[in-house]
Structure 1
Amino acid sequence: MHASISAAVTAHPRRRPEAEALAASQPGLDFEVVEDPEPDGPRSALRTARLAWRTADPGCTHRLLVQDDMRLAPGFARLVRAAVAAQPDRILCLFTEWGSRTSPAVRLAALAGAGWVPLLDPYVPTTAVVLPTAVAHALAGFPAEPGEPDDVLLLRFAREHGMTPLVSSPNLAEHEQGDSLIGNDVLQGPRHAALFGGPPGDWARVLVPPVVPHLLLFDGVVVCQVPDGDGWRPVLADAFLAPSGLALPDLLERYAVAVGACDPTGRMRRVVADSLLLQLWLAAFCYGVAAYAVLGDVAVVDRALRTVRGAAALRTIAPGALRRFVPGHRLAGLPALVAPLLRHAISDGCVHAGQAGDQFWKEYLQ
């Protein structure tokens, strides 16, 4: 199949200069700028998205939409064409923010060399997305629920049509920091990419991990997401680990040993509260379990973590998970600060997984 792409930057009129600059940065894709048709109406990205969906060129196989506050990876046009050629019938998300439910799966794909993971979030990140043109045209007339945003509507459409959106590893778009039209910058903090740019994964390969750990953005606790029918079910991390012989007191003891070795002077705990540092450690421990499940060997996981992609993925774990709990001026230094603890936890989780076999998740997947 020969893929051809019509591309658009969606924008509010007040961001016209930014949108035009983004469009001009990709001459090989001939971006058009699609503006909100009712800029003085209630704030909503859906109006602009509908217009961009409706105006997709019927002579092209795919519609690429990028919002005006995104930055695109070097070689974006070449990469997105290769991605579309490898997955022509799928909804392709080129960005997921560093604290999303899908972000740990993107990091696991980076270790495994895969180009895609299934979407785990309750919305489709429409900040940078590629749709088959037929899907874009169908979305233009797809009825919305009252107050429904475009990203939730797109997921509902996908589910009704038996489609599972894919998220790229690495992400091909990065979210530039700025004022959100709907206030997400205040509610959620900075929303950078889970893994931006760098060597691409295998666009023909979709990694479906048997478990995806996630430190919940608003709750500050770790869950392990396990496949459940057509979706994913969250299981509290301590419950997920219990069949492997680790009860909560065992986890607390392991954390105490790790933090004593990695943070003897308390530098980490002066930035991250001990209770949250425990959860960050637990997320990394479960990430080690998941990495072993994907790669099957402790030494292979260790080597993968030391690659450019693996190291870059590791750097976004802490700021992505903790950006609502750590002062903004501390986020840039957070990855280096907690890196020893994360590496210790991942290694510990990986070794434990090798010893425990399949005793982690079999209870939940049978």
Structure 2
Amino acid sequence: MHASISAAVTAHPRRRPEAVALAASQPGLDFEVVEDPEPDGPRSALRTARLAWRTADPGCTHRLLVQDDMRLAPGFARLVRAAVAAQPDRILCLFTEWGSRTSPAVRLAALAGAGWVPLLDPYVPTTAVVLPTAVAHALAEFPAEPGEPDDVLLLRFARAHGMTPLVSCPNLAEHEQGESLVGNDVLQGPRRAALFGAPPGDWARVLVPPVVPHLLLFDGVVVCQVPDGDGWRAVLADVFLAPSGLTLNDLLDRYAAAVVVCDPTGRMRRVVADSLLLQLWLAAFCYGVAAYAVTGDVAAVDRALRTVRGAAALRTIAPGALRRFVPGHRLAGLPALVAPLLRHAISDGCVHAGQAGDQFWKEYLQ
């Protein structure tokens, strides 16, 4: 289909210069700037979002909203039009932060060549999102619960209407560093994109992985997210791996062996506590299991990790998962520091998945 897009940058008035600059950076989309109608009110992005939803041009098929603290990928206008044309009826998220529940699925899509994954998070990333115009207008009138933010309201709307939002691979927007007006930078640390600026995947293809491993941002432990009805269920990683014949002691032994090979001088463990490095290794091991599941071949995973998309996906695993636990000045060097351990763990997980066959899926996916 031919997609016609009305675009808006949503902003607080004190960020108007940034919003105007962002709008001007994309002359092909004719962005307007929509400002918070009550800038002195309680902190909330919902007021501005509602106004932007309500003012979506009815003569256009879609409404694109980008918040004022985002940076857009080179060729953004062309990419977003192609993405919308391939998925015209969906809610399309062009960003997910590198530690979100959805971020490991985006990294799997990078290996598989897919352009989209389903949203796994309990909110819809509204930092850069495309909505069918009819959806935008309906959202403008959708009642909010007390104190409900725009991203949670959007997910509630989607569920009420049987819609599963999609997240792009690669992300087409990046979150710029700066003070969050709602305090997210203090609560969560830096929120960079899961995979930004890499070559696009197949916009017509949605990858639904059979398992999505995730190192929990606040808990520091790994879970495996498995499809469960219309949603996803989190299972502790060691519990998920048990049907394949691996015990907790087996995993500890594999980690110890990996550290001997990949961190013989202890450089990694001087930056990342041993208990957290174990969880990072376990997340990568499970990522290898999942990567084998979506490619079906150990060699294919190795090749995919060496592509631009695969390498970019690998770089955000550690800082995305550990940014609340590792000092901020260490995050930039973290990907290179732990890369040998991650590659070793992913390879180990791939090989194990190939040997275990369908044992993983018997309990959780059948």
TM-score (norm 1): 1.00
Cα deviations across residues 245-304 of structure 1 (Å, max 9, x unaligned)? Answer: 001000000000001110000000000000000000000000000000000000010000
Unmatched runs of 5 consecutive residues or more in structure 1: none
Q: In the alignment, is the contact (CA less than 8 A) between 2:8 and 2:32 conserved in 1?
A: yes
Q: Could you tell me how far apart the structure 2 residues matched to 1:336 and 1:2 are?
A: 43
How many equivalent pairs are there? 366
**How many angstroms does 1:43 deviate by?**
0.3
Q: In the alignment, is the contact (CA less than 8 A) between 2:10 and 2:19 conserved in 1?
A: yes
1:127-206 paired onto structure 2 within 5 Å = 127-206=127-206
Cα deviations across residues 201-224 of structure 1 (Å, max 9, x unaligned)? Answer: 000000000000000000000000
Q: In the alignment, is the contact (CA less than 8 A) between 1:212 and 1:225 conserved in 2?
A: yes
Q: In the alignment, is the contact (CA less than 8 A) between 2:18 and 2:68 conserved in 1?
A: yes
Q: Could you tell me how far apart the structure 2 residues matched to 1:257 and 1:360 are?
A: 23
What secondary structure does 2:155 align onto?
helix
Cα deviations across residues 129-186 of structure 1 (Å, max 9, x unaligned)? Answer: 0000000000000000110000000000000000000000000000001000111001
Q: Could you tell me how far apart the structure 2 residues matched to 1:262 and 1:190 are?
A: 27
Q: Could you tell me how far apart the structure 2 residues matched to 1:256 and 1:360 are?
A: 23
**How many angstroms does 1:365 deviate by?**
1.8
Q: Could you tell me how far apart the structure 2 residues matched to 1:361 and 1:8 are?
A: 44
Q: Could you tell me how far apart the structure 2 residues matched to 1:197 and 1:224 are?
A: 27
Q: In the alignment, is the contact (CA less than 8 A) between 1:288 and 1:347 conserved in 2?
A: yes
What secondary structure does 1:9 align onto?
strand
Q: Could you tell me how far apart the structure 2 residues matched to 1:364 and 1:113 are?
A: 25
Q: In the alignment, is the contact (CA less than 8 A) between 2:117 and 2:168 conserved in 1?
A: yes
Q: Percent identity?
A: 95
**How many angstroms does 1:358 deviate by?**
1.2
**How many angstroms does 1:361 deviate by?**
2.7
What secondary structure does 1:341 align onto?
helix
What secondary structure does 1:34 align onto?
strand
Q: Could you tell me how far apart the structure 2 residues matched to 1:357 and 1:107 are?
A: 22
What secondary structure does 1:359 align onto?
helix
**How many angstroms does 1:360 deviate by?**
1.2
TM-score (norm 2): 1.00
Paired position in structure 2 for 1:39:
39
**How many angstroms does 1:2 deviate by?**
1.8
Cα deviations across residues 16-51 of structure 1 (Å, max 9, x unaligned)? Answer: 000000000000000000000000000000000000
What secondary structure does 2:164 align onto?
coil
Q: Could you tell me how far apart the structure 2 residues matched to 1:56 and 1:295 are?
A: 40
**How many angstroms does 1:308 deviate by?**
0.7
**How many angstroms does 1:76 deviate by?**
0.0
Q: Could you tell me how far apart the structure 1 residues matched to 2:53 and 2:41 are?
A: 20
**How many angstroms does 1:231 deviate by?**
0.3
Q: Could you tell me how far apart the structure 2 residues matched to 1:358 and 1:14 are?
A: 55
Paired position in structure 1 for 2:242:
242
**How many angstroms does 1:362 deviate by?**
1.9
What secondary structure does 1:361 align onto?
helix
Q: Could you tell me how far apart the structure 2 residues matched to 1:68 and 1:182 are?
A: 13
Q: Could you tell me how far apart the structure 2 residues matched to 1:292 and 1:181 are?
A: 41
Unmatched runs of 5 consecutive residues or more in structure 2: none
Could you list the structure 1 runs, at least 4 aligned residues long, displaced by more than 4 angstroms after superposition: none
Q: In the alignment, is the contact (CA less than 8 A) between 1:240 and 1:361 conserved in 2?
A: no
Q: In the alignment, is the contact (CA less than 8 A) between 2:210 and 2:365 conserved in 1?
A: no
**How many angstroms does 1:3 deviate by?**
1.1
